[in-house]
Copies of this chain bind each other. A is one copy, B any other.
């Protein structure tokens, strides 16, 4: 595995992601980091997001909307996806890690992890859309 070298672009991508709690997409990272670093290319954003996810410094979220979201908070937690506005937010909730044991009970392979996200209507969309 190649040794990592410092990159200003990578640092700014990580720094930006740490300021956000809304799990931005690569494109949103790109348009924002470009404010500080106008010459950064979209390919560099994608490459570094993938690299950071591979080394575990960030998480890649696939919530089923066809676009990858990224999260600088790598502590175990779950996400809520609003089917009205598409927002992705953190959920404060007790651990449900025990579902891995439930799933593994009658299974012959080896379960290493799970992906769970919840969907519905967020509080903002509940208040603005009647019915």
Contact = CB atoms under 8 A, between A and B. Distances in A.
A121 B112 contact: yes
Interface footprint category on A: 35 or more
A95 B39 CA distance: 51
A130 to B, nearest CB: 14
Interface stretch (A8-16, A21-29, A49-57, A99-107): A99-107
B96 A99 contact: yes
A109 B96 contact: no
Nearest to A65: B62
Contacts of A5: none
Contacts of A113: 118-120
A72 to B, nearest CB: 19
